[in-house]
Chains A and B, each alone.
Chain A
């Protein structure tokens, strides 16, 4: 599977004129493809170990499931870049940052995107002049509180309508708290320059080109990081012992922590995580709720995409804080809405 040798990662850009011509990426790609075509039986044999086979299946599954949603996200991002003038966003969003954060949270409810789609959209909102705090609130709210996710949660927990409400409250609170925290403490220079550069106003005739070029660029940008996250999540899916789930029935604090860590490591899609949580018998509702609140806020796949899109120094600060805030919001929502520690 991962036969891409590390040495090609630092692949040189096309040589400047005058220098001797060096190997370009298109030639490397051709060679890699040729090798794979010739050697794919060897490749298959190498992967013919049960654990690797399972891991490969999980990896492809995450890609097949998430890539179409990423495509949806980059199309939205393209639409924003090409057809939504910055002036319009400035007019629609409240001038005060706090109010803008609230609006962004509500906007997340209305837009059924998954977490992979939200990353390019949030980035594009930022480059169209939306306050970063509001864009980041949208990033966290959109995958967690949209109607599709809430319906899936209701289906997975029949007879527990409070679970839907608690998930909604916990996730929305996470998004808004993170937005407020960013407005208060966040520094713009943590976000890499290219993500917040404002695009020039688009002349009418060029709009289709801006749309397709933005979508294409974002797809290439974020796609690689999605794949990286899928690789890590697939490895974790095979490596994390199933026994982790079994021993947690009685220890509520440990249960909450383990479920939060699992939500990060497994990187399930927010439409599906409710079914997984529901199927864990013998676990109280509160750790399950934390699992559902943490998962859409931060997981390995999202972390990789955030690092790729907004830069490492952003992701290294934003992701751990999201993790802690999501756990706290999940616990508070659970205690208030699920009737205590059950």
Chain B
């Protein structure tokens, strides 16, 4: 590969990273704390490419790889493998894959329940704030449903936000949890039952909703792989949130 081609690839890839950081789409792939890394990495990549081009233009070199200072040895650098840098560029700029969704939930079906590791350790759960329909992350709901011995969810209504995933005849509310990037994501699910389940079953996979309802007591047990059931009262379709994961 010629030196200029590699430079253009670096600028494109750096630009693609910066675009993700700027539009907020990076949240589909990594945790929010990665933003400075994405910006920094993209900027440096772009600068390294641009600087090399600027130097070549200034020195009037025809710019073959390896022709430059310190690197002058017969064969070309980067070789053919550098072409692979084009794959993430295309993926980000032209395909823009969506956040993980119902397909990942289906994929993890049959595996052991991926229980929140520290849920069991968090022995004491603080009481829920007052008010009707307390909003709550799915991970917290699952932890309270499975391990809270003080019954903080008893007779309370919660509001849960996630996407719809169907498994057989059942409808689930799901959310992916990531530790670092989407490669390590795993789902947290809540079975939708009760009066509103019928409405949820008509929605398609990956549709984002906020549901309200109460925990069906004793539904999150080892037999159900600690998947709690919610007696659904209302279902409201919402726009997908900019930050689709829980952490």
Q: Are B104 and A54 in contact, CB atoms less than 8 angstroms apart?
A: yes
Asked whether A92 is an interface residue with its Cβ less than 8 Å from the other chain, the reply is no
Residue of B nearest to A75 (CB): B44
Q: How far is the CA of A109 from the CA of B25 in the complex (A)?
A: 33
Q: Are B88 and A63 in contact, CB atoms less than 8 angstroms apart?
A: yes
Asked whether B223 is an interface residue with its Cβ less than 8 Å from the other chain, the reply is no
Q: How far is the CA of A279 from the CA of B28 in the complex (A)?
A: 21
Q: Are B40 and A14 in contact, CB atoms less than 8 angstroms apart?
A: no
Q: Are B183 and A237 in contact, CB atoms less than 8 angstroms apart?
A: yes
From known contacts A3-B90, A13-B2, infer whether A268 and B48 are also in contact, taking CB-CB under 8 Å: no
Residue total for B at the interface (Cβ-Cβ under 8 A): 83
Q: Are B68 and A61 in contact, CB atoms less than 8 angstroms apart?
A: no
Q: How far is the CA of A206 from the CA of B71 in the complex (A)?
A: 13
Q: Are A210 and B69 in contact, CB atoms less than 8 angstroms apart?
A: yes
Q: Which residues of A contact B238 (CB under 8 A)?
A: none
Q: Are A273 and B77 in contact, CB atoms less than 8 angstroms apart?
A: no
Q: Are B81 and A228 in contact, CB atoms less than 8 angstroms apart?
A: yes
- Report the minimum CB–CB distance from A249 to chain B (whole Å): 8
From known contacts A13-B76, A71-B45, A243-B110, infer whether A61 and B10 are also in contact, taking CB-CB under 8 Å: no
Which residues in window 1-31 of A have CB below 8 A to B?
1-4, 8-11, 13-14, 24-26, 28-29
Asked whether B203 is an interface residue with its Cβ less than 8 Å from the other chain, the reply is no
Q: Are B110 and A57 in contact, CB atoms less than 8 angstroms apart?
A: no
From known contacts A29-B9, A159-B121, A243-B111, infer whether A65 and B1 are also in contact, taking CB-CB under 8 Å: no
Q: Are A213 and B52 in contact, CB atoms less than 8 angstroms apart?
A: yes
- Report the minimum CB–CB distance from B35 to chain A (whole Å): 10
Q: Are B29 and A60 in contact, CB atoms less than 8 angstroms apart?
A: yes
Q: Are A217 and B85 in contact, CB atoms less than 8 angstroms apart?
A: no
Interface residue from A3, A47, A194, A224 paired with B73 (Cβ < 8 Å): A194
Asked whether A317 is an interface residue with its Cβ less than 8 Å from the other chain, the reply is no
Q: How far is the CA of A157 from the CA of B116 in the complex (A)?
A: 11
Q: Are A65 and B90 in contact, CB atoms less than 8 angstroms apart?
A: no
Q: Which residues of B contact A214 (CB under 8 A)?
A: 70
Residue of B nearest to A57 (CB): B97
Asked whether B133 is an interface residue with its Cβ less than 8 Å from the other chain, the reply is no
From known contacts A29-B9, A75-B44, A243-B110, infer whether A272 and B81 are also in contact, taking CB-CB under 8 Å: no
Interface residue from B7, B64, B73, B115 paired with A279 (Cβ < 8 Å): B115
Q: How far is the CA of A198 from the CA of B43 in the complex (A)?
A: 30
Q: Are A158 and B118 in contact, CB atoms less than 8 angstroms apart?
A: yes
| Max chain A Cβ within 10 angstroms of own Cβ: one of B85, B98, B118, B180 | B180
B95-115 vs A: 1/0 string, CB under 8 Å?
101111011101111111111
| Max chain A Cβ within 10 angstroms of own Cβ: one of B38, B41, B97 | B97
Which residues in window 69-84 of B have CB below 8 A to A?
69-71, 73, 76-84
From known contacts A65-B29, A67-B41, infer whether A279 and B5 are also in contact, taking CB-CB under 8 Å: no
Which residues in window 252-269 of A have CB below 8 A to B?
266-269
From known contacts A4-B83, A57-B29, A243-B110, infer whether A50 and B103 are also in contact, taking CB-CB under 8 Å: yes
From known contacts A68-B41, A75-B44, infer whether A47 and B97 are also in contact, taking CB-CB under 8 Å: yes
Q: Which residues of B contact A244 (CB under 8 A)?
A: 111
- Report the minimum CB–CB distance from A206 to chain B (whole Å): 7
Asked whether B153 is an interface residue with its Cβ less than 8 Å from the other chain, the reply is no
Asked whether A280 is an interface residue with its Cβ less than 8 Å from the other chain, the reply is yes
- Report the minimum CB–CB distance from A97 to chain B (whole Å): 28
Q: Are B103 and A51 in contact, CB atoms less than 8 angstroms apart?
A: yes
Q: Which residues of B contact A156 (CB under 8 A)?
A: 117, 179
Q: How far is the CA of A283 from the CA of B99 in the complex (A)?
A: 28
- Report the minimum CB–CB distance from A119 to chain B (whole Å): 13
Q: How far is the CA of A246 from the CA of B225 in the complex (A)?
A: 12
Q: Are A25 and B103 in contact, CB atoms less than 8 angstroms apart?
A: no
Q: How far is the CA of A2 from the CA of B7 in the complex (A)?
A: 20
CB pairs A–B below 8 angstroms (21 shown): A1-B90, A24-B2, A26-B2, A32-B86, A50-B103, A53-B97, A53-B98, A58-B183, A65-B30, A68-B37, A71-B44, A216-B52, A224-B81, A224-B83, A243-B110, A245-B112, A249-B112, A271-B180, A274-B179, A276-B179, A280-B112
Residues of B whose CB lies within 8 Å of any CB of A are: 1-2, 4-10, 13, 17, 20, 26, 28-30, 34, 37-38, 40-42, 44-45, 48-49, 51-52, 55, 62, 64, 68-71, 73, 76-88, 90-95, 97-100, 102-104, 106-118, 121, 179-184, 186
The 7 A-B residue pairs with the shortest CB-CB distance in the complex, in nearest-first order: A272-B180, A68-B41, A275-B179, A242-B111, A224-B81, A61-B182, A278-B117
Other A-B pairs, 14, CB within 8 Å; known A60-B91, A64-B181, A216-B7:
A1-B95, A25-B5, A40-B95, A47-B97, A65-B29, A69-B37, A216-B51, A217-B78, A220-B9, A221-B81, A237-B183, A268-B183, A268-B184, A279-B116
